[in-house]
């Protein structure tokens, strides 16, 4: 996963240095994430469907299910669930709400609940990542957002941004309380 993060950071930095004035959204990153993971001998499924029990609404998906079994030479099996989020900073409350939805989704989805789960069941326990892309202004907007319901998410993003999460003894997926 480190190579994936480093590769995407390099790609985003390159585009920023070129002065590319794009309207970013999370789907812009998909092709590059797929290319990086595939190049490292991972199988990639974008917008992988999750089976739901009699719920209404749009189909539930995971942005990426990345996996490999033990048939690849010189590799270990592995499984990763990845959600991608681009923080625009124009509406930090909405950004925080969307981050909470992605975190909740990552916490609850299990390999058995994926469509075509037989492909990933032999790959081990999943690791779960939320890849957040943002410009400085977007991160500052999240940091300064005055929210009662998503302050825990804003604090977690700020700890990740500053590197304070590395000093913590708390688990990587610390419990996030739900406001009542």
Residue with tokens 């500052």: 140
What would the pLDDT profile of 52-62 be if each residue is shown by its tens digit?
755 666 678 99
Say what the pLDDT of residue 45 is: 93
What span, in angstroms and rounded, lies between the C-alpha atoms of 157 and 137? Answer: 14
Tokens of 84: 């991608």
**Helix 151-162 with 92-108: angle, nearest 10 deg:** 90
- Name residues of the chain where pLDDT drops below 50: 171-180
- Beta-strand runs (E) in the chain: 43-49, 61-68, 78-87, 127-134
Say what the pLDDT of residue 44 is: 94
Say what the pLDDT of residue 174 is: 47
What span, in angstroms and rounded, lies between the C-alpha atoms of 66 and 37? Answer: 7
pTM for the full predicted model: 0.81
What CATH code would you report for 2-51+59-166? 3.40.1350
Say what the pLDDT of residue 34 is: 95
Q: How far is CA 105 from the centre of its chain?
A: 10
């Amino acid at each position: 996963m480190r190579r994936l993060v480093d590769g995407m950071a390099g790609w985003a930095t390159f585009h920023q240095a070129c002065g590319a004035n794009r309207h970013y959204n999370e789907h812009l990153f998909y092709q590059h994430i797929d290319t990086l993971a595939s190049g490292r001998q991972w199988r990639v499924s974008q917008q992988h469907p999750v089976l739901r029990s009699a719920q209404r609404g749009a189909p539930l998906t995971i942005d990426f299910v990345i996996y490999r079994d033990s048939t690849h030479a010189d590799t270990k099996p592995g499984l990763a669930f990845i959600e991608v989020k681009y923080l625009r900073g124009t509406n930090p409350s909405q950004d925080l709400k969307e981050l909470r939805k992605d975190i909740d989704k990552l916490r609850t989805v299990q390999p058995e609940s994926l469509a075509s789960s037989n492909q990933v069941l032999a790959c081990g326990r999943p690791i779960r990542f939320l890849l957040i892309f943002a410009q400085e202004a977007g991160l500052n907007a999240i940091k300064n957002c005055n929210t009662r319901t998503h302050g825990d998410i804003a604090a977690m993003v700020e700890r990740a941004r500053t590197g304070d999460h590395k000093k913590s003894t708390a688990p990587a997926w610390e419990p996030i309380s739900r406001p009542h």
